[in-house]
């Protein structure tokens, strides 16, 4: 079976809490997905998209330790399978159920792994996963900026949240692989860069540029820089916790998903404060930095821009991002996919979900009435024009993607048996490894 190029979109399913955990911001509710989910799946197919970043709302599904309400997931995933839409299943997107509390809870990683395994057992035809979305951003917004969930602002709170998020992700990968040995993990993470605005800001900028890699370093089992090792240890990570990450290497099952928005680059002042710089290096330059560090296949897993007063701002941003993807791919980075996020407009992301204002952000391929936007029409053209042209044979996906309607096919069963045998025998060739880097 020929590998696909992963043209994708997503259905926004953020659900952090604010107001000290008393208020849940549920973007599926705000964007009316619970009401219009069948229409949303119609729109995915109308776009000509085969891959959908999607996941059940964790706070409604995971009701207690070992307790699950699968009713909504059963309906939606049954429909996705029937339509043969390939999901990149997102299990944790910026929040946890009320009974867990927040990301400071040390019980979260092990319990989340149980949830991931339960999902994989219930939906064994799902192959692609993002277990925990944007771990770095989640830890920053929850425990450094003090915006979401635990709403703390300290280095120790940030390190605690980060180590729990990454451990949850690693344990979830292990749990899913026990059920689906040919699973592929597309680890969506924000790609950032911090620019020093003058010589006095070089030091603070270097620290921030080292810290941006922490979630992926730990997730992929890469030894962190010496300054970051001291930072982790000084703020509560034990030697045993650190070695768990270094010694648990599931990198060869991963694709590096990197998200890029116009807000991903920052200007740093001498006191370490930051503000948005706008696009300076762009997706091309920053993706090379991440690829040089991890040497994994890459997927552009999120981008968007608001449709502005001229009506073509988002269309131009889409063209620019797609041109960057083609550039890095032609320059030698194995780029396997591209995503406009999300399918519909979003609500209150202009305040980073810190306030409930009901403000509609015109970021989607469709508006909230499910009418296509100009950027949706432009994305349709890209998929139509490039879908048959991209030489996917050169993309190093060692394990082919299995569409839902092929899950029970003989070749798919052979593939899973082969992967399981390799895992048990310890002979699985790390196709995405970097040769010992």
Contacts of 292 (CB under 8 A, 6+ apart): none
- Residue pair 304/340 in contact by the 8 Å Cβ criterion: yes
238/414: higher pLDDT: 238
- Residue pair 124/412 in contact by the 8 Å Cβ criterion: no
394/180: higher pLDDT: 180
Task: Provide mean pLDDT across the span 332-343.
Answer: 95
The answer as to whether 434 is a domain residue is: no
Which two structure tokens, joined as six digits, stand for 288?
Answer: 């090379």
- Using DSSP, state whether 319 is helix, strand or coil: helix
The answer as to whether 436 is a domain residue is: no
CA atoms lying within 13 Å on the CB side of residue 313: 12
pLDDT at site 400: 67
Task: Provide mean pLDDT across the span 39-47.
Answer: 98
The answer as to whether 437 is a domain residue is: no
pLDDT at site 182: 94
Task: Provide mean pLDDT across the span 397-405.
Answer: 72
Please tell me the distance from the alpha carbon of residue 236 to that of residue 253, in angstroms, as a whole number: 29
Q: Which tens digits make up the pLDDT trace of 106-162?
A: 999 999 999 999 999 999 999 999 999 999 999 999 999 999 999 999 999 999 999
77/408: higher pLDDT: 77
The answer as to whether 68 is a domain residue is: yes
The answer as to whether 353 is a domain residue is: yes
For 388-397, the CB contacts below 8 A with 24+ separation are: 390/5, 392/2, 392/3, 392/4, 392/5, 393/2, 393/3, 394/334, 395/3, 395/5, 395/297, 395/334, 395/335, 395/336, 396/297, 396/334, 396/431, 396/432, 397/3, 397/184, 397/255, 397/297, 397/336
Please tell me the distance from the alpha carbon of residue 87 to that of residue 103, in angstroms, as a whole number: 26
Note the Cα 373 to chain centre separation in Å: 24
The answer as to whether 164 is a domain residue is: yes
Q: Among 54-68, 103-117, 336-350, 409-423, which is the least confidently predicted range?
A: 409-423
Domains identified in the chain, total number: 1
**Spatial CA neighbour of 341 closest among 311, 361, 359:** 361
> How would residue 384 be classed by pLDDT, with cut points 50, 70 and 90?
very high
Residue 2 has pLDDT above 60, yes or no: no
Q: Which tens digits make up the pLDDT trace of 275-332?
A: 999 999 999 999 999 999 999 999 999 999 999 999 999 999 999 999 999 999 999 9
pLDDT at site 389: 77
421/270: higher pLDDT: 270
The answer as to whether 270 is a domain residue is: yes
CATH number (domain holding residue 338): 3.20.20.80
pLDDT at site 420: 84
Residue 362 has pLDDT above 80, yes or no: yes
pLDDT at site 5: 87
Residue 426 has pLDDT above 70, yes or no: no
The answer as to whether 299 is a domain residue is: yes
Which two structure tokens, joined as six digits, stand for 181?
Answer: 């040995």
Which two structure tokens, joined as six digits, stand for 437?
Answer: 């880097």
Name the residue range of residue 288's domain.
Answer: 6-425
Indicate the average pLDDT of the chain: 93
Task: Provide mean pLDDT across the span 198-217.
Answer: 98
pLDDT at site 393: 45
Left if phi > 0, otherwise alpha if psi is -120 to 50, otherwise beta: which for 371?
beta
CA atoms lying within 13 Å on the CB side of residue 124: 11
Q: What percent of the chain has pLDDT over 90?
A: 87
pLDDT at site 423: 77
């Amino acid at each position: 079976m020929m590998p696909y190029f992963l043209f994708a979109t997503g259905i926004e399913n953020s659900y952090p809490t604010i107001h000290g955990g008393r208020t849940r911001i549920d973007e599926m509710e705000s964007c009316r997905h619970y009401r219009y989910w069948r229409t949303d799946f119609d729109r995915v197919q109308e776009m000509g998209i085969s891959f959908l970043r999607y996941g059940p709302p964790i706070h409604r599904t995971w009701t207690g330790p070992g307790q699950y309400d699968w009713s909504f997931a059963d309906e939606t995933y049954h429909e996705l399978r029937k339509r043969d839409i390939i999901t990149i299943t997102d299990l944790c997107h910026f929040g946890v159920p009320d009974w867990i509390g927040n990301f400071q809870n040390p019980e979260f990683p092990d319990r989340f792994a149980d949830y991931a395994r339960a999902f994989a057992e219930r939906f064994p035809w799902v192959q692609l996963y993002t277990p925990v979305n944007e771990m770095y951003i989640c830890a920053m917004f929850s425990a450094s900026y003090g915006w979401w969930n635990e709403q703390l602002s300290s280095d120790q709170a940030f390190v605690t949240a980060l180590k729990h998020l990454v451990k949850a992700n690693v344990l979830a990968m292990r749990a899913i692989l026990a059920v689906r040995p040919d699973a592929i993990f597309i680890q969506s993470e924000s790609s950032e860069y911090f620019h020093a605005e003058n010589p006095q800001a070089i030091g603070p900028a270097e620290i921030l540029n080292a810290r941006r890699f922490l979630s992926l370093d730990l997730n992929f089992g890469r030894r962190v820089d010496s300054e970051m090792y001291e930072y982790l240890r000084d703020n509560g990570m034990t030697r045993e916790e650190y070695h768990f990450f270094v010694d648990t290497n599931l990198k060869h099952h991963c694709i590096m998903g990197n998200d890029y928005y116009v807000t991903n680059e920052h200007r740093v002042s001498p006191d370490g404060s930051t503000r948005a710089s706008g696009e300076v290096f762009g997706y091309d330059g920053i993706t090379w930095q991440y690829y040089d560090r991890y040497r994994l296949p890459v997927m552009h897993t999120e981008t968007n821009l608001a449709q502005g007063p001229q009506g073509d701002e988002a269309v131009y941003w889409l063209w620019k991002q797609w041109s960057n993807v083609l550039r890095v791919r032609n320059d030698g980075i194995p780029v396997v996919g591209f995503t406009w996020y999300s399918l519909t407009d979003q609500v209150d992301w202009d305040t980073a979900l810190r306030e409930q204002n009901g403000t509609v952000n015109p970021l989607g391929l469709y508006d909230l009435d499910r009418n296509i936007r100009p950027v949706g029409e432009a994305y349709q053209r890209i998929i139509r024009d490039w879908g048959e042209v991209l030489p996917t044979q050169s993309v190093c996906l060692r394990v082919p993607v299995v569409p839902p309607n092929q899950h029970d096919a003989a070749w798919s069963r052979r593939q899973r048996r082969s992967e399981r045998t390799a895992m048990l025998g310890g002979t699985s060739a790390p196709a995405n490894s970097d040769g010992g880097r």
